[in-house]
Amino acid sequence: MDFKDKIKINREKLGYTLEELSKLVGVSAPTIQRYESGEIKNVRRDKIAKLAEALKVSPSYLMGWEDENKDPILENIPGIITPVQMKRIPILGTIACGDPIFAQENYDGYFMIDKNLPEADFILRAKGDSMIEAHIFDGDLVFLKKTNDVDNGQIAAVLIDDEATLKRVNKYEDTVVLQPCNKNYKPIIVQDKDEKQVLILGEMVGVYSRRSS
């Protein structure tokens, strides 16, 4: 409800005519009418206080800074930055950024994140330096969306038998190449003939680092 609507609704609720309210506020009846039509948008503070007193409401309510129950509406108050709505993502453990390590979902708590950030289902903590050229460093938190397939070139958490690793995935007819992002490491190449089970756990959608810039 806008400022103009609040004036009219509360005036009519109290049974005031335009003339009666104008006398209480100290302005002309046409001015009150212009308040109610929205023609006058920048009302002086002293007049807002008079209007609030006459209409038996608070100035904050007229300004849209609080609701009918006198609860503050923070996003309407100038200078107030409202906290973002948060969601929590589970941290499930550590993933290798180097040679694969034994995959184990070690519950490690939750990470709070703005709900408007890229959607993630779980987090793994990076270990090693094979992905540093993708700006993923040892100890970083890697945000992943659960999926069993990714487009070529995407970074994903991949399970090779029971060993998990974080690599850039490239798939061919009978071969999967897990490419590190560090020239000092060789790609992991898995072919159908190797009889190894390759399972994509999730696609990376973001990284959080505590490193100083």
Backbone angles phi, psi at 3, to 5 degrees: -50, -50
Known catalytic membership, residue 171 = no
- Regarding predicted confidence, which is higher, 170 or 84? 170
Q: What are the tens digits of pLDDT across the range 17-30?
A: 999 999 999 999 99
Give which of 93, 170, 165 is closest to 129, Cα–Cα. Answer: 165
- Find the range with the poorest average confidence among 7-16, 93-102, 163-172: 93-102
- The catalytic residue among 37, 70, 167, 183 is 167
133 shares a domain with 69: no
The pTM of this model reads 0.57
Known catalytic membership, residue 196 = no
3-state secondary structure of 21: helix
**Which of 76, 105, 140 is the last residue in one of the domains?**
76
Which CATH number goes with the domain that contains 49?
Answer: 1.10.260.40
Contacting residues for 189 by C-beta, under 8 A, at least 6 apart: 175, 176, 177, 178
67 shares a domain with 26: yes
97 shares a domain with 145: yes
Any domain includes 12:
yes
Residues 136-148, mean pLDDT to the nearest whole number: 91
99 shares a domain with 72: no
Number of domains in the chain: 2
- The catalytic residue among 4, 8, 127, 130 is 130
104 shares a domain with 64: no
Length reported for the chain: 213
Q: What are the tens digits of pLDDT across the range 81-128?
A: 555 667 788 888 788 887 776 665 556 777 777 776 668 888 888 999
pLDDT of 80 > 60? The answer is no
User: What was the pLDDT predicted at 187?
Assistant: 93
115 shares a domain with 61: no
Any domain includes 195:
yes
Cα distance between residue 203 and residue 130, in whole Å: 17
Which CATH number goes with the domain that contains 181?
Answer: 2.10.109.10
191 shares a domain with 93: yes
